[in-house]
Amino acid sequence: MKAKYLLIALISLSFFACDDNSGSLGLNMFPSGDQNINGQSTTFEVTTQSQLADNVFAKTSIGYLGRFTDPNFGYYEASFLSQIHCIDDFSFPPVVDLNNEADLNDPSAIMVSNEIYRTELVLTYSSYFGDSIAPQHLNVYQLNKKLDKQAAYYTNIDPSEFYSTSDLIGEKSYTAVNLAHSDSLRNTDTYLPSVVVTLPTELGQQIYDLSREAEANNQQFAPTFMDMFKGIYVENDYGDGTILYIDQIELNIIFECYIRDSSTGEIYKMHDEVTDSTGYSYRTFVATKEIIQANSFRSDETLIQQKVDETDWTYLKTPAGIYTQATLPLNSFEENLSQDTLNVVKLAFTNYNQSNDDNKYAFTMSPPTNVLLVRERDKESFFTDNMINNEITSFLSTRNAIYTNQYVFSNVARLINTCLSEKAAAVEQLATFGEISEVLNSNDQPVKTIEEWMECTEWDKVALIPVKVISDSNGNIVGIQNDLQPGYTKLKGGLTGSKLDLDVIYTSFSKK
């Protein structure tokens, strides 16, 4: 008979692997003679509620910039701080002395003089959210305080701690789609939209002079640059309806240079054969993934709290808005299935259909594509520790937008077993020592009862959090970050709404 049990467990697992619906668990697919022997199914209720996510860990290589107002959740504003990187072997090319034969014969010597022509900041974005032609205006400030490499920066970071309003170094009016560029240019495969901000020439000159000084002293310029130019803060101070997703930041120092023949290295002459031909070249400092970048978000707290307080359903709202907390019926498992083997435990979160009828724009925020189901107590450390889903205490799901409009977690049995094992260990520790010193109550005292332990450890709570999934070229997941793009969805559930079904297939080796 044990072979039959194993076969039924495998059948149930296979069925769940391909089923995205939250209806029948497929018990009717078992051989009829076995249905009342070992293959059992049951359903427990799961209670959910919205929780405020007023700040989340904001590690990302994207800078979010702009403001968007939604009729349901009010406004939110996005700005960012970023360091700028300098490579270790950075240098400017030599200046050409036209009276020096060595300079004339050195193909790397191209600078006309020690004067900088222009300094600019280029903010490149591959995509954006919202209105493509809504007028916007941004300000760029130079930081007067470094971002801490060891710090974990959250979306509620206060930029004013890192800059002063007197440190304004650039400003620019823009739209997400640059109408000054032709359609034919914007439609090319190589075109990348950007906002180019002119910065003070004096800034570029200072950087250049310090570089030459480091070169004269046979020192690397990178440490000097990082001390002198601590970074930038970019904010949107005018406009509504557009959020840029800036994924490339460049600080360009532009200088006049002689144009040399690529094959001979000689300086080109103008048509008069007397005047030297000149143009412009540049050196670039960039913000890389290794450099600290922090996003700051400000939202309409009143409207968001009103949504959190609704109890007939729950919400997911990004960025840094609302997540859904679920209470797992672990006591029901303990009371009813403690002697049985859990084969499959399936949980699905159903989205309500959205409407943009009340939106003043022709678009609205979309439901998050990917969500993470993680234990409530781990929802911060999961991101700060750069973890990925382990299918034991953390799970990923992608919204099935075509058929079910659900986030489905097809089997969280290992999570249930982990939680039950933890409680059993806690009961044993309490029986042996009378307390659990590793867990402190609200008075910072060791817990002394299992009820106190369950409350303090949020034992039966899990969080459903919108995330951005990062994969390598082979499709392997290499990173999971909080979703910082604007989005929301309303989910079935809530404290007074419909309970969610936790569908279970289990195997019993005892006679019923």
Does 383 score more than 80 pLDDT? yes
What is the number of other CB atoms lying within 10 angstroms of the CB of residue 255?
23
- pLDDT band for position 21 (cuts 50, 70, 90): very low
* Each residue's pLDDT tens digit, 402-433: 889 999 999 999 999 999 999 999 999 999 99
* Amino acid, res. 28: N
At 61, is the pLDDT very low, low, confident or very high (cuts 50, 70, 90)? confident
- Where does the pLDDT of residue 363 fall: very low under 50, low under 70, confident under 90, or very high at 90 and above? low
What is the structure's pLDDT at 332? 95
Average pLDDT, the chain: 89
**Mean of pLDDT values over 133-154:** 93
For residues 485, 491, 497 and 500, what is the CA-based torsion angle, rounded to 10 degrees? Answer: -130
Q: Which of 264-268, 351-355, 504-508 has the highest mean pLDDT?
A: 504-508
- 3-state percent breakdown (helix, strand, coil) of the chain, nearest 5: 20, 35, 40
Write a three-state SS string for 72-126. CCEEEEEEEEECCECCCCCCCCCECCCCCHHHHCCCCCCECCCCCCEEEEEEEEE
Dmax over Cα atoms in the chain, in whole Å?
104
Higher pLDDT, 445 or 28: 445
- Mean pLDDT across 165-185: 93
Answer with the residue of higher pLDDT: 93 or 272. 93
Average pLDDT over residues 330-348: 94
The CA distance from 138 to 241, in Å, is 14
User: Is the pLDDT at 4 greater than 90, yes or no?
Assistant: no
Percent of the chain at pLDDT above 70?
Answer: 89
Q: Which two tokens stand for residue 125?
A: 């974005």
Rounded CA-CA distance 227/262 in Å is 37
Distance (Å, rounded) from C-alpha 262 to C-alpha 248? 30
pLDDT attached to residue 391 = 97
Helix (H, G, I), strand (E, B) or coil at 127: strand
Share of the chain above pLDDT 90, in %: 75
Which residue from 245, 246, 236 is spatially nearest to 137, judged by alpha carbons? Answer: 236
pTM, two decimals, is 0.86
341-350 and 406-409 strand pairing? antiparallel
Q: What pLDDT does 510 receive?
A: 54
Strand partners, 324: 50, 464
Query: Per-domain residue ranges for the chain?
Result: 2-54+302-414+484-507, 74-297
Would you state the pLDDT for residue 263? 85
